[in-house]
Amino acid sequence: MLLGWSVLQDIVGVTIALIAVIALGLEGRSGWDALQLTLLYVLLVVVATWILPGFLRRLRTDHDLFLIVSVASALALAGIGGLLFGIPLALAAFLSGLAISESPESSEARERLLPFRDVFAVMFFVAIGTLIDPAAVLRGWAWLLLVLGLLLVAKIAPIYLMTRISRVAGRPLQVAIGLGQIGEFSFVLATIGVTRGVIPAELYSAILAAVVLTIAASTFLVRLPQRVVG
């Protein structure tokens, strides 16, 4: 249930991010130009999704080359989206990853990338940590409390109530806590907002701090015994 709901959240997050990019423009470009560039990049990803599987299939016997091409293709598509089309790099990386994940060879690619998963996860949190400005968080402590309060009222409580009312399989409080975090696409949206000047730096720092706090807290709390989060 947590996985399915998380996938739905990612889809919604990507959709909102694309709309925000188009509405706010791409690095000084108008909304119409942003729409054209975004559609061109999506078309490029679709073409890559059609080409890459056959190419990777020919490399399956060469394990090292298969791994290198898989990673390099995703990184190249993300870089093209960020440098040539002005797409935020995190969003471009997600879309380019779809070009790999949609192929029949994606399972094999994921298995070979498993040793790197923990390293990339650590790098993600280290990168988030370096972006947090403690002084800005202290100045915007009210923003942090507001974001955490909105998370409780607008996400955790509704998920708990919907799970309880619908009597779905699983423990309602555990489901609500497991989903009670600000995901990485909220960070992408915040980045778009601060680079376009629509949100202040204090709010951006508060969102980053909330991302770290909620991910850490939900990861710990969701593993508590059933009598606590049942």
The tokens 């409080």 sit on which residue? Answer: 173
Domain ranges of the chain: 1-114, 132-230
Spell 27-37 as b/e; 16+ CB within 10 A means b: eeeeeeebbeb
* Closest alpha carbon to 74 in 51, 103, 94: 94
**pLDDT of 82:** 80
Task: Print pLDDT tens along the chain (230 aa).
Answer: 777 887 788 778 778 877 877 777 655 566 677 778 888 888 888 888 788 777 777 877 777 787 788 788 888 888 888 888 877 777 787 777 766 665 666 666 667 777 777 777 777 777 777 778 888 888 888 999 999 999 989 888 998 898 888 877 778 888 888 888 887 777 778 877 887 788 888 888 888 888 888 888 888 888 776 555 55
pTM of the model: 0.69
What does 82-136 look like in DSSP terms, one character per residue? HHTS---HHHHHHHHHHHHHTSTTHHHHHHHHHHHHHHHHHHHHHHHHHH--HHH
Rounded to whole angstroms, how far apart are CA atoms 130 and 118?
18
* Alpha-carbon distance values, 71 to 124, 140, 205 (Å): 17, 39, 31
Task: Name residues whose C-beta falls within 8 Å of residue 181's C-beta, 6 or more positions apart in sequence.
Answer: 211, 214, 215, 217, 218
For the chain, the first-to-last Cα distance in angstroms comes to 15
